[in-house]
Chain A
């Protein structure tokens, strides 16, 4: 059985207007997302801004309350848990944030930040907390002597290391990584990605790795889910996705990535227009407004999520 099973997850944000905050519509940020995550596996979630990938991550941890759906983690449906039970389960399901600096309380020392989850969940002595914090800092490549320093005294890459140490504090089973490297410089990005990979092997962790950069996602993931306007349009193994992309959106996304090799000259698929507003998603297949292969049926019917075999699934009428 999968460690984490997400079924038909939906999050609609009401759009309110005027003095009386009347609901005038809803933004379908996440509109029926399903996937599963095995123990020790990394599932990449990729998509452009506004596709709902960040909301999915937040909904899994219930940092945002989902509208409907199921999130089964370790055999329990998180969406039915009460406050205290949920609080306890957060020890084993963690998150790393995109902007590492803003995820650290500026008025707390690094030691206090990393100790917070330990103090929340375990009843241990001060010395034990200290030892654990020192161990964690060392593990993520920080100097334990710097425990008493404040976040603003560290660099961007170190901020993310602190965030990782905090997430690892209670030996979690899975971590949602929400754009963990997109705010970092290229050379630091590699350090953090290597660290995440090392820790994963060591602790047999599962990751949900959310990012907009397909090359980063493909690099770290075993399987990749491509999202567009609140829905998953394709899931495949990392290799399959690169070698045999099926959905026209995945194909466009792949061809749009600039490759750092001037010898490679590819014919790019350049999509027209912008991502439509999730306030008024297009009928049928939500990609049809930009799709180079659009057919009559695409504007009318929402495509089913078809299994092409080998775990490769795609939501497209033409495949």
Chain B
């Protein structure tokens, strides 16, 4: 006999009206880490939106006279080798990284979710085909795959988004397919078939809404990964090209001056770290808050 058993008071949980949202919000609020992530993300978003207000000048205009200055009142984070304000470039860089994050996740969602839905719902040969391709793509480490795609497509913002996006597609396919496989067996899906709902209706109205929670969580985590990957490509010089302020590229060019002017590489690194952290913390928090098995 077990040391302790919890009584099943499921009936209590289902009785109280419309408290699901409130409970989820309460669970999220109790999660300090998620709140911290959310706050960071908010700062990040505000920075990206208000960039021209926060830094009125042109972040890409060189001013060689001020090359590699240490942090001062005029340039709180110092200047880089071309005398540009690092603070300004980080502020504008937030726009670039946000654009990349949203773009990458959109590619991943738009391609991965439909393929995952089809693969999971129909099964059979379609599923087999999609899964083998997914297997092949997952055999490479994600970053290597993105790097290889860049090698094929070429450098630049658009290609960075496409390459990283495609490298993330198999993750979405796997995730969605797995969820669909379990939701497909739910009685309400059978009930929908029994009242004569066609397959597209079942997929869009019954299955998709019921797999949204894991997709949402993955989207948050995916944005963090996207920023990291984009920074990695930028660092290697095959991502977004200068003079566009991109954190990874800034880190890459600052690497040369690491001994004498460490601030050139440090601050972009901190920006990458904090933005990735914010998405990861929020993603984990969402997972805990939205997962019904995780009880308060």
Q: A–B direct touch, CB within 8 Å, in complex?
A: yes
A contact set with B: CB distance below 8 Å: 61, 63, 87-88, 90-91, 94-95, 97, 99, 101-108, 116-117, 120-121, 149-150, 152-153, 155, 163, 166-167, 169-170
| Residues of A contacting B216 in the complex (Cβ-Cβ under 8 angstroms) | none
| Besides A102-B186, A105-B210, A153-B14, 5 new A-B residue pairs in contact (Cβ under 8 A), listed by A number | A102-B188, A103-B188, A105-B188, A149-B18, A163-B191
Bound Cα distance from A162 to B15, whole angstroms:
16
Decide: A99 and B187 in contact? CB cutoff 8 A.
yes
Interface residues of B in 1-39 (CB under 8 A from A): 14-15, 17-18, 20
Bound Cα distance from A95 to B193, whole angstroms:
11
Decide: A63 and B197 in contact? CB cutoff 8 A.
no
Decide: A107 and B196 in contact? CB cutoff 8 A.
no
Interface residues of B in 193-229 (CB under 8 A from A): 193-198, 201, 205-206, 209-210
The 8 A-B residue pairs with the shortest CB-CB distance in the complex, in nearest-first order: A117-B195, A107-B209, A103-B187, A90-B196, A105-B188, A102-B187, A120-B196, A87-B196
Decide: A94 and B188 in contact? CB cutoff 8 A.
no
| Residues of B contacting A105 in the complex (Cβ-Cβ under 8 angstroms) | 188, 192, 205-206, 209-210
Bound Cα distance from A166 to B192, whole angstroms:
10
* 21 A–B contacts from the bound complex (CB under 8 Å): A61-B194, A63-B193, A63-B194, A87-B198, A90-B194, A94-B194, A94-B195, A103-B191, A106-B188, A107-B210, A108-B206, A116-B192, A117-B195, A120-B198, A120-B201, A152-B14, A155-B15, A166-B191, A166-B195, A167-B195, A170-B195
Q: Answer yes or no: B190 CB below 8 A from chain A CBs.
A: yes
Contact A91-B187, Cβ < 8 Å, known A105-B210, A152-B14: no
| Residues of B contacting A104 in the complex (Cβ-Cβ under 8 angstroms) | 188, 191
- Which A residue's beta carbon lies closest to that of B15? A155
Main secondary structure on B side of the interface with A = helix
Decide: B210 and A169 in contact? CB cutoff 8 A.
no
A-B contact count (CB 8 A): 70
Main secondary structure on A side of the interface with B = loop
Decide: B197 and A95 in contact? CB cutoff 8 A.
no
Decide: A120 and B17 in contact? CB cutoff 8 A.
no
How many Å from the CB of B147 to the closest CB on chain A? 33
| Residues of B contacting A155 in the complex (Cβ-Cβ under 8 angstroms) | 14-15
How many Å from the CB of A148 to the closest CB on chain B? 10
| Residues of A contacting B15 in the complex (Cβ-Cβ under 8 angstroms) | 155
| Residues of B contacting A166 in the complex (Cβ-Cβ under 8 angstroms) | 191, 195
Decide: B191 and A121 in contact? CB cutoff 8 A.
no
| Residues of B contacting A90 in the complex (Cβ-Cβ under 8 angstroms) | 194-196
Bound Cα distance from A83 to B167, whole angstroms:
38
How many Å from the CB of B25 to the closest CB on chain A? 17
| Residues of A contacting B210 in the complex (Cβ-Cβ under 8 angstroms) | 105-107
Bound Cα distance from A116 to B195, whole angstroms:
8
- Which B residue's beta carbon lies closest to that of A156? B11
Bound Cα distance from A104 to B188, whole angstroms:
5
| Residues of B contacting A61 in the complex (Cβ-Cβ under 8 angstroms) | 194
Interface centre among A91, A97, A101, A116, by most chain B C-beta atoms within 10 angstroms, is: A116
| Residues of A contacting B201 in the complex (Cβ-Cβ under 8 angstroms) | 120
